Structure 1
């Protein structure tokens, strides 16, 4: 399947370039696009893509491919809209957008939202075991802890090509447009700490929201949100699950923590299912699933199959065979709504202004 890439930054270079290089049985990358011509050329050279662009509209107009993989930073809503309108299938990295309105404006088409943890073999195994226990009705609690070091430390091994050739005026206008989207989501008067919380919710915590969607359904409500420490600092979120039980989530940005670590524990009446995820940038590093059963019996399960690679194969199957993705536009919208509820609960608790869609 011939594809085009939009965005040639850190995730593309560290994850997608090596995976697409070894899955040439499924994909041929024929075009790449980035605001930086330096990055477009670097990624194009590594993947053998002959067409390089600095404007999405130009790439879509030229065509020559069947699908678009959107990997750029920020909101993806407008790029996805353009690609779907032009008739291309789209794999869009999370988040799908920053506002509900952007999702509502998307035309009909083949759209898959990328949450690679949903395709992790350990997660799929945990889903199967949970179903055997009785599904969401069996859950007493879900507890999530994320220890998040700096992106620079997580990517130090990757020897990334840096972009220094993008017009500062263009970057400033893009940041202003993104800030306007956040204002649409939260209201023009939403203060910096509410905006920062919303950014973390859609940029990182959304992975955990996507797992809750798979295990229990999206949270029915957000009861409590607190933050502390220097921004982005630490975040605590809790609330009821849609069927039974409650969830609690603690996310900590720890600049110099030795390694990324994410733990998702599902407790039920007779035991627990615990998932421990490594850094997402380490290819084929296994997620550990620990199953605790009555009598304190503990069994650990690991598999080195790369979740990002399974996700890419699932996109190929979606486009060619019609196999439904685990997250479509509806699932991406659910996570945006939950992120807005998180921001709104925090604002209400602290007497801060909240407007826009989140109100």
Structure 2
């Protein structure tokens, strides 16, 4: 088939800095046909520059059609929009989180035309680690998985970019914020604002990256044994989570996420220690295209310690887009679909429940089931 006709909804930083440049780079397999943003003037400006139709309502764009697939880049929960797009017959690539509650996803079949964008799963270094881990014995050989994120402000990570800001009117934005609030209540019940934001902004907004890599390598956590959140007077706070890896692994994991506004540079490391050595990923900020993730492999050769380092310049987001194209044109399953996204929502809810138990808070909704 020819180039896949795609529409984009949500024209913020991710669209301008990542997706639109890569879609332009891959005109051999993609053709942007329409764009949408709640800020109609912003959408019109980008649409005019791209030479495509622009909309300020996603449903109007879906009803007009003229494209095969939808890329969802809006903030907040994506559940209702994804369901509407699937009902219209679109293939969907949705940025995470797919939803804030499990209830939002009721009615979506497991074989839906849905791919959830977890770009670090498609990083060439992650894929190489997965292969090396398989050679070492797979998940069963893992003794420990550690993930640490040092997260400076978004502004400092985007100093190189010149993205234009979407400024939708408050009355246009209000229904979506209300729907997000309802979804969080479905997930957690009525809880303090700080707990709501910890769940939606930190766990499903950022820690989901580490959960997705863990899920790819060894599976979702079997237990959430301990959660620490500190300091009490700062948001976003630091978060530490630990527990047991799933069977057949017999190891444990630790996740540490720190928001440090003035930290020099974004840094994320994921280390896997197994019976025969260690594998460590070091990710740069995901806003920089073709900035390689490094993989360091520590092993033994006879009586000597051997260290090998790998850096691949192929772009993870581009690899993800190519995988989406294969999903649509060749029915090749994505690394994360509905099932994987649901597992991450459940893990985030288990983290909140454990944190609530340790701090004397009460949670309800899906989290309290």
Q: Is the 8 A contact 1:344 1:354 kept in 2?
A: yes
Q: CA RMSD in A?
A: 1.1
Matched, 1:23 2:26: yes
Measured in 2, the distance between the counterparts of 1:145 and 1:55 equals: 39
Match of residue 312, structure 2, among 303, 312, 319: 303
Measured in 2, the distance between the counterparts of 1:45 and 1:239 equals: 51
Q: CA deviation at 1:197?
A: 1.8
TM-score scaled by structure 1?
Answer: 0.97
Match of residue 281, structure 2, among 275, 299, 313: 275
Aligned length: 356
Aligned to 1:233: 237
Q: Which moved more, 1:104-113 or 1:221-230?
A: 104-113
Measured in 2, the distance between the counterparts of 1:115 and 1:14 equals: 17
Q: Which moved more, 1:122-131 or 1:291-300?
A: 291-300
Q: Secondary structure at the match of 1:323?
A: coil
Aligned to 1:6: 9
Measured in 2, the distance between the counterparts of 1:331 and 1:320 equals: 22
Measured in 2, the distance between the counterparts of 1:23 and 1:296 equals: 42
Matches within 5 A, 1:32-111: 32-48=35-51, 50-107=52-109, 109-111=112-114
Q: CA deviation at 1:103?
A: 1.7
TM-score scaled by structure 2?
Answer: 0.94
Measured in 2, the distance between the counterparts of 1:41 and 1:18 equals: 18
Measured in 2, the distance between the counterparts of 1:45 and 1:156 equals: 26
1:13-49 per-residue CA deviation (whole Å, 9 max, x = no partner) reads 111111111111110001011101233124324433x
1:28-84 per-residue CA deviation (whole Å, 9 max, x = no partner) reads 001011101233124324433x21011111101100011111111100001100000
Q: Secondary structure at the match of 2:127?
A: helix
Q: Is the 8 A contact 2:104 2:183 kept in 1?
A: no
1:204-239 per-residue CA deviation (whole Å, 9 max, x = no partner) reads 100111111111110011111111121112000001
Aligned to 1:117: 120
Distance 1:46 1:269, change over 3 A: farther
Aligned to 1:197: 198
Q: Is the 8 A contact 1:21 1:47 kept in 2?
A: no
Q: Is the 8 A contact 2:78 2:99 kept in 1?
A: yes
Measured in 1, the distance between the counterparts of 2:205 and 2:176 equals: 17
Measured in 2, the distance between the counterparts of 1:176 and 1:331 equals: 26
Measured in 1, the distance between the counterparts of 2:161 and 2:99 equals: 27
Structure 2: gaps of 5 or more residues: none
1:130-189 per-residue CA deviation (whole Å, 9 max, x = no partner) reads 01111110000000000111111111211111123x22123233222211211110002x
Q: Is the 8 A contact 1:114 1:311 kept in 2?
A: yes
Measured in 1, the distance between the counterparts of 2:214 and 2:288 equals: 23
Q: Which moved more, 1:112-121 or 1:288-297?
A: 288-297
Q: Is the 8 A contact 1:197 1:232 kept in 2?
A: yes
Q: Secondary structure at the match of 2:160?
A: helix
Aligned to 2:322: 313
Q: Is the 8 A contact 1:42 1:161 kept in 2?
A: no
1:96-116 per-residue CA deviation (whole Å, 9 max, x = no partner) reads 111001122325531000001
Match of residue 155, structure 2, among 152, 155, 159: 152
Q: Is the 8 A contact 1:194 1:346 kept in 2?
A: no
Aligned to 1:138: 141
